[in-house]
A and B are shown apart, each in its own frame.
Chain A
Amino acid sequence: MRISTLLARNLAWFWRTNLAVLLGVVTATAVLAGALLVGDSVRGSLRDLVLSRLGNVDSVISGAGFFREQLAADIGAACPIIVTTGVATRESSGQRASGIQVFGVDERFWQFQNEPGEPLRGREVLLSGALARELGSSPGDSILLRVQKPSAIPLESLHGRKDNVGQTVRLTMRAVAPRDFSIRPEQGDVRAVYVPLARLQRDLAVSNQVNTILTGNLPNLAELLKQRYRVEDLGLHVRRLESPEVWSVESDSGMIGDELAKIATDTATVLESRAQPVLSYLANRMKVGDREVPYSMVTAIDGEPAPSEADGVTLNQWTARELGAKPGDALTLDYYVWQSDGRLHTANAQFRVSRIVPIEGAAADRNLAPHYPGITDTNSLHDWDPPFPLDLSVIRPVDEDYWKQYRATPKAFIPLARGRELWGTRFGSLTSIRILPPAPNYEAALHDAIDPQKFGLAVIPVRAQGLQSAHGATDFGEYFVYFSFFLMVSALLLTGLFFKLGVEQRLREIGVLRALGFRASKIRSLFLLEGAVLAAAGSVLGLGAAAAYSALILYALRTWWVDAVGTRLITLHVSIPSLAYGALAGAATALGAIAWTLRRLQSATPRALVHDAGSAPSRSGLVSALQLGSDPRASARRFRTSWRLPLAGVVTVLALALLATAWTRKLDQTPAFFGAGTLLLIAALLFVSARLRSLKLTAISSTLSLGLRSASYRPGRSVLSIALIASAVFVIVSLDAFQQQSPSPDFAGYPFLAESILPLIHNPSTPEGREALNIPKLDGVEFVPFRLKPGDDASCLNLYQPRNPRILAPPASFPHWPELQAKLPGGEVPAIADANSLEYVLHLKVGDLLEVDRVRFRIAAALQDSIFQSELLISGENFLRLYPENEGFRFFLVKARPDAVAPIEDALKDYGFEIQPVSARLASFHRVENTYLATFRALGGLGLVLGTIGLGAIVLRNVLERRKELALLRAVGYRPRDLARIVLVENLLLLLLGLVTGTACAMLAVAPAIASRGGHLPIASLITLLGAVLTVGIGASILATSAALRSPLLPALRSE
């Protein structure tokens, strides 16, 4: 005989209670490990999606503009593609899909991804499965694809073409793509179209050019890129001019950015050459007195032939003659300027003629003007096709003659500083830089001096970033641990209750052991050992149940709770660490619960344990009830009761005072009512506690009232049961207070918002902008255009961790968020974000710093329940400074009648312009929050239902303790059914008191929230929950009662 033998005997002999304990541990472990597995599964699924969609792609070289396709071959194992977004329309049905990914690919792509198959020919395209389903397309269908037309010249510069920023390509669907490909992490379906690369290059007029290179795991990719790129890949050209003999550094965009200009200049200095910056601009008109010359190129330059005086202008002889100008004359220069408000303005500047020069030497240099398509490549001024209004009527034959003879040779020269002041833009303030004398190795030196990654060729480790993002913005494991809290507590409660029940059944055994010389600590160790074996076994068995629990939760997330995750692509991922952690935590907490039940074992003497079984009071509730009034300990009980009633009164008064204050709106109603509800719950429990202890519940006139009176048998136990049920019901019901209310119908008076796939360069808030955009004249329509830098969705709709959030910038005229205009030290940029996105997605708070791509955003304020949950808001001024390449407006607040929405969308359909009500946008966010609440309520309710089974254990304990009383009742003629009724009534009383108290107080707590949404209450779910609790509670009581009453009662009477 060894301790282990005794342990084994105990485990086998008391198998019923041990099984109940085991099931409790299994449940606790399953819930905990299962919740962690949910987190693992979400992360694992996101990771799988990233990996499967990237295929063999490890990194990409992404261009701000288009660059040589050949660069991919120069780098090595790499694949050139075009990546853009667009709008696809199934021509036959008109069904449209906005914001789809467009990939221009050829056979190299499929080889790179190890996907066999015939290359796409002609206008054939593949559609991703999701896009095909969305469009209802099948092979052979005609698909119209609308994408943004690339433009080297900034659209928001004078020479940018603003009216037709898109290109429509007609294509034919060949099949559904064999695999989904996506560079950016997204949990939803991939909506993509795969277009033949050559076709897309032709339609976008970017022959042999791409904007993305896919690479595998190439070591030192950045270094490789630095070696193999060419300056032309950045849109730069170094041109050798013969007369004068110089290098001319020029840009495809027509403007050289300030940083590049500095590098070009510094490089010249290093080579002991001189850099001469040039800025040429088109003047609409030069006027001296009443004579004028139209459409003239003016060059700002330091040195000959420009004057040195700041307001001076040098005219060539032809211009001076046409203007009748002589040195000292005042000259007015009119010119267009495209401003950041999305409008073309005509500005003018005053000069004084400094001198007049012949058209020779530097004054005859037609290369000073950059190449502008539609202007510099025409033979006649009348052939000009500029992207701005041109008044052909003012063009005279002599102007045509000048053009024929001198083309874009400048007619006037001004100092560079003045030119930059007048015509500098965010894209740069030089049109070319001349390097003289032309050092032979200048181009190579410039190449080496430029870091291509800073000027439009970014190396992005998409696989590493995707995997990092796949850690997720939200730890679903943590969330589901919270959501499953009641379930876990209930399981642990059951574990403890059943173990205690088992211990109490063995109190006599404990007494014997102590009489035989076992120390209390030894006995406790023995029980703990038993508990440890059960906890260990339960936790191991719980692992299987954990997988089942998490599979169930994931099924729910893919179906009923899909709004919480926004994808049906979440699958079960079992991870050993989570299982181990769950098992250990489950075993430890279960053992803790078991240890808790054993803590009072030592207080009873062995004699009491042997004779009185240690737990039953010497006076039972029944005997007390029968001797009411003559109880010698009544005074002591009165003392124990006496403080509860007054305290209940005080707490009630406090609750009423809080209610009254809230009613008069001196306090915020929601927290005040919540506080009052909580106080009333406490008061109610104190009152119930006092009443149970006072034994004045009811006169004993029937078996029912006898049952009611029995609730006072163990008042502490009864109150604990009521308190547990009431508290859980209170929390679950009052969750309704956090239910998002009906979304606001507008934001700042704007009932709609809109986004466009292609940028609107014209400002639709102005009459001329609407005219340019062909928006019909509709009464009461207003737009607030925002600038948008696309990026990661920072809202709860995105499961991935946003690395590079979307940035929005309101116009300067928007009368909100003055915090954005603050000037912060250290180059920090004030930003505003939605409070929920900040807390739950970005994990920041107001005042924190967020660094994205070397830009430091200081969170200046948080918006409550806003439509801007997906982005950061910054000022327009900062936006243009930080992201000059993001042109035009792509996000809009719209004020319009509902019937005006369709005409506006129709007018702007080529931009992929889609309007949605503000309330719909808010509702999409609310759905996520409300789904989380529903999840919590469902799992909490399940926990409450499980916890109610614990009532059965309490009933069983009560009945076992009172076997002698019940035997006495049997002896005096009670039938088993009478005894069952007595026990059930008692239990029902506890159950109902808990439910009614918790529900009533919770209703009060959430009254303002309910009232604010017109009295809507989730009646059905509440009734289901409370009904389930009641049913399970009664069921558990019946089972416990019948189990207890099945054991022979009369022997108990005999032993009395």
Chain B
Amino acid sequence: MLEIAGITKQYPAPGGPLTVLDGVSLQLKRGDAIAIMGPSGAGKSTLLYIAGGLEPPTSGTITLDGIDPYRIGEKELAAFRNQKIGFLFQDHCLLPQCSVLENVLVPTLVAEGRDQYPERARELLRQVGLDQRLDHRPSELSGGEKQRVALARALIQKPLLLLCDEPTGNLDEASAAAVADLLLELHRQQQTILIVVTHSRDLAARFPSRYELRHANLHPAGA
């Protein structure tokens, strides 16, 4: 269960604090998937990163599986992100020096019991259709393929929460559709909590729940 309660985020500015999020609350359970839309600078990514334990809120609480990532130590927070959360960025953020398979396995380097991972990585890559490209470097892949590798990497630890920041923003229409298919399919298979931040109405339309971030708060899409 992901519980976001009264999250506020302010940034200091010369003219006084700039409030980006103002009392945002949200509850999602395993298997839920939502899309968040909104204009640039509205705070969508900020909410995403707060949820992912990457950026602390100014106030409010967030718990995932009963754990508030901002109330645990640095070591536990790192393990929390490693085991509970998967990230998918607009820019795939693959390590150019590593192969496809190695990129998927990167999160496992700081995890316990690594023996099981290579097989899982291969399976994930098979599921995203890249099982023939295991030893390729990111530079040898197309944009859509890179994003699929990034998706496999995000899922390698079987995260409870999958956070996607404009996952198709850099892709052409066909690739975007393919990545979206995979994303939703894998989410369905693994029963993660999926939050996608996107400008793409096509992508958002494929989610059962859609929100818009306006005036520093979440509103059901179309409301």
Nearest chain-A residue to B99 (Cβ)?
A9
A509 proximity list for chain B (CB < 8 A): 93, 95
B60 at the interface (CB under 8 A from A): no
Nearest chain-B residue to A3 (Cβ)?
B109
B96 proximity list for chain A (CB < 8 A): 13
Given contacts A1-B105, A1-B109, A517-B82, whether A508 and B98 have CB atoms under 8 Å apart is no
Q: How far is the CA of A522 from the CA of B97 in the complex (A)?
A: 19
| Pairwise interchain contact A1-B97, C-beta atoms closer than 8 A | no
Interface centre among B14, B75, B79, B80 (most CB of A within 10 A): B14
Chain A 1-35: CB-based contact to B (< 8 A → 1; otherwise 0): 11101100110111000000000000000000000
A518 proximity list for chain B (CB < 8 A): 78, 82, 109-110
Q: How far is the CA of A428 from the CA of B145 in the complex (A)?
A: 108
B54 at the interface (CB under 8 A from A): yes
| Pairwise interchain contact A516-B153, C-beta atoms closer than 8 A | yes
| Pairwise interchain contact B81-A516, C-beta atoms closer than 8 A | yes
Given contacts A512-B93, A512-B95, A610-B93, whether A517 and B83 have CB atoms under 8 Å apart is yes
A9 proximity list for chain B (CB < 8 A): 95, 97-98, 102
A588 at the interface (CB under 8 A from B): no
Chain A 345-363: CB-based contact to B (< 8 A → 1; otherwise 0): 0000000000000000000
How far does the Cβ of B79 sit from chain A's closest Cβ, in whole Å?
6
A489 at the interface (CB under 8 A from B): no
How far does the Cβ of A638 sit from chain B's closest Cβ, in whole Å?
13
| Pairwise interchain contact B54-A605, C-beta atoms closer than 8 A | yes
Question: Interface size class for chain B?
Answer: 35 or more
Which residues of A1009-1056 are within 8 A (CB) of B?
1055
A520 at the interface (CB under 8 A from B): yes
A607 proximity list for chain B (CB < 8 A): 45, 49, 54-55
A519 proximity list for chain B (CB < 8 A): 74-75, 78, 110
Which residues of A564-615 are within 8 A (CB) of B?
605-607, 610-611
How far does the Cβ of B199 sit from chain A's closest Cβ, in whole Å?
15
| Pairwise interchain contact A605-B55, C-beta atoms closer than 8 A | yes
| Pairwise interchain contact B14-A1055, C-beta atoms closer than 8 A | no
| Pairwise interchain contact B95-A517, C-beta atoms closer than 8 A | no
Q: How far is the CA of A512 from the CA of B54 in the complex (A)?
A: 11
Chain B 76-96: CB-based contact to A (< 8 A → 1; otherwise 0): 001111110001010101011
| Pairwise interchain contact B93-A517, C-beta atoms closer than 8 A | no
Nearest chain-A residue to B106 (Cβ)?
A516
B118 at the interface (CB under 8 A from A): yes
| Pairwise interchain contact B109-A632, C-beta atoms closer than 8 A | no
Instruction: Choose among A2, A14, A516, A1055 the residue that contacts B87 (Cβ–Cβ < 8 A).
Output: A516
A854 at the interface (CB under 8 A from B): no
A515 proximity list for chain B (CB < 8 A): 52, 54, 81, 87
A633 at the interface (CB under 8 A from B): yes
Q: How far is the CA of A516 from the CA of B106 in the complex (A)?
A: 8
Q: How far is the CA of A1 from the CA of B114 in the complex (A)?
A: 9
Which residues of B143-190 are within 8 A (CB) of A?
153, 157
Q: How far is the CA of A959 from the CA of B95 in the complex (A)?
A: 22
Nearest chain-A residue to B117 (Cβ)?
A1
How far does the Cβ of B162 sit from chain A's closest Cβ, in whole Å?
13
Q: How far is the CA of A516 from the CA of B14 in the complex (A)?
A: 34
Given contacts A508-B93, A518-B78, whether A5 and B52 have CB atoms under 8 Å apart is no
A611 proximity list for chain B (CB < 8 A): 45
B95 proximity list for chain A (CB < 8 A): 6, 9, 509, 512
B108 at the interface (CB under 8 A from A): yes
Given contacts A606-B54, A632-B15, whether A517 and B111 have CB atoms under 8 Å apart is yes
B107 at the interface (CB under 8 A from A): yes
| Pairwise interchain contact A517-B118, C-beta atoms closer than 8 A | no
Nearest chain-A residue to B76 (Cβ)?
A519
Which residues of A499-518 are within 8 A (CB) of B?
508-509, 511-518
B101 at the interface (CB under 8 A from A): yes
Nearest chain-A residue to B157 (Cβ)?
A517
Nearest chain-B residue to A519 (Cβ)?
B78
B93 proximity list for chain A (CB < 8 A): 508-509, 511-512, 610
Q: How far is the CA of A155 from the CA of B118 in the complex (A)?
A: 100
B153 proximity list for chain A (CB < 8 A): 516
Given contacts A512-B93, A605-B54, whether A2 and B109 have CB atoms under 8 Å apart is yes
Nearest chain-A residue to B97 (Cβ)?
A13
| Pairwise interchain contact B55-A12, C-beta atoms closer than 8 A | no
A1 proximity list for chain B (CB < 8 A): 101-102, 105-106, 108-109, 114, 117-118
Given contacts A1-B108, A13-B97, whether A517 and B14 have CB atoms under 8 Å apart is no
Nearest chain-A residue to B48 (Cβ)?
A607
Instruction: Choose among A513, A522, A605, A633 the residue that contacts B14 (Cβ–Cβ < 8 A).
Output: A633
Which residues of B91-137 are within 8 A (CB) of A?
91, 93, 95-98, 101-102, 105-111, 114, 117-118
| Pairwise interchain contact B82-A516, C-beta atoms closer than 8 A | yes
Q: How far is the CA of A393 from the CA of B105 in the complex (A)?
A: 123
Which residues of B11-39 are within 8 A (CB) of A?
13-15
How far does the Cβ of B24 sit from chain A's closest Cβ, in whole Å?
17
B49 proximity list for chain A (CB < 8 A): 607
Q: How far is the CA of A106 from the CA of B113 in the complex (A)?
A: 86
B111 proximity list for chain A (CB < 8 A): 517
Q: How far is the CA of A377 from the CA of B118 in the complex (A)?
A: 114
How far does the Cβ of A434 sit from chain B's closest Cβ, in whole Å?
101
Given contacts A1-B118, A605-B54, whether A513 and B97 have CB atoms under 8 Å apart is no
Q: How far is the CA of A9 from the CA of B105 in the complex (A)?
A: 14
Q: How far is the CA of A181 from the CA of B19 in the complex (A)?
A: 91
Q: How far is the CA of A242 from the CA of B108 in the complex (A)?
A: 113
Q: How far is the CA of A514 from the CA of B81 in the complex (A)?
A: 8
Q: How far is the CA of A950 from the CA of B70 in the complex (A)?
A: 41
| Pairwise interchain contact A513-B75, C-beta atoms closer than 8 A | no
Nearest chain-B residue to A611 (Cβ)?
B45
| Pairwise interchain contact A517-B107, C-beta atoms closer than 8 A | yes
Nearest chain-A residue to B79 (Cβ)?
A517
How far does the Cβ of A884 sit from chain B's closest Cβ, in whole Å?
83
Nearest chain-A residue to B75 (Cβ)?
A519
Q: How far is the CA of A687 from the CA of B87 in the complex (A)?
A: 48
How far does the Cβ of B34 sit from chain A's closest Cβ, in whole Å?
20
B108 proximity list for chain A (CB < 8 A): 1
Interface centre among B93, B108, B157 (most CB of A within 10 A): B93
Nearest chain-B residue to A605 (Cβ)?
B55
| Pairwise interchain contact A520-B74, C-beta atoms closer than 8 A | yes
| Pairwise interchain contact B74-A610, C-beta atoms closer than 8 A | no
Chain A 318-354: CB-based contact to B (< 8 A → 1; otherwise 0): 0000000000000000000000000000000000000
How far does the Cβ of A516 sit from chain B's closest Cβ, in whole Å?
4
B13 proximity list for chain A (CB < 8 A): 632
Nearest chain-A residue to B89 (Cβ)?
A610
A5 proximity list for chain B (CB < 8 A): 102
How far does the Cβ of A18 sit from chain B's closest Cβ, in whole Å?
11
Interface centre among A1, A12, A508, A520 (most CB of B within 10 A): A1
How far does the Cβ of B70 sit from chain A's closest Cβ, in whole Å?
12
A514 proximity list for chain B (CB < 8 A): 54, 78, 81
Given contacts A607-B49, A632-B15, A633-B14, whether A517 and B78 have CB atoms under 8 Å apart is yes
How far does the Cβ of A607 sit from chain B's closest Cβ, in whole Å?
5
Q: How far is the CA of A518 from the CA of B75 in the complex (A)?
A: 9
8 nearest interchain CB pairs? A517-B82, A13-B97, A632-B14, A1-B105, A519-B78, A9-B97, A512-B93, A516-B107
A-B contact pairs, 9 of them (CB 8 A): A1-B106, A511-B93, A512-B95, A515-B52, A517-B83, A607-B55, A610-B93, A632-B14, A633-B14
Given contacts A9-B95, A517-B107, A518-B109, 17 further A-B contacts (CB under 8 A): A1-B101, A2-B109, A6-B98, A10-B97, A511-B93, A514-B78, A515-B54, A515-B81, A516-B87, A516-B110, A517-B110, A517-B111, A518-B78, A605-B54, A607-B49, A633-B14, A1055-B91
Q: Which residues of B contact A (CB under 8 A)?
A: 13-15, 45, 49, 52, 54-55, 74-75, 78-83, 87, 89, 91, 93, 95-98, 101-102, 105-111, 114, 117-118, 153, 157
Q: Which residues of A contact B (CB under 8 A)?
A: 1-3, 5-6, 9-10, 12-14, 508-509, 511-520, 522, 605-607, 610-611, 632-633, 1055
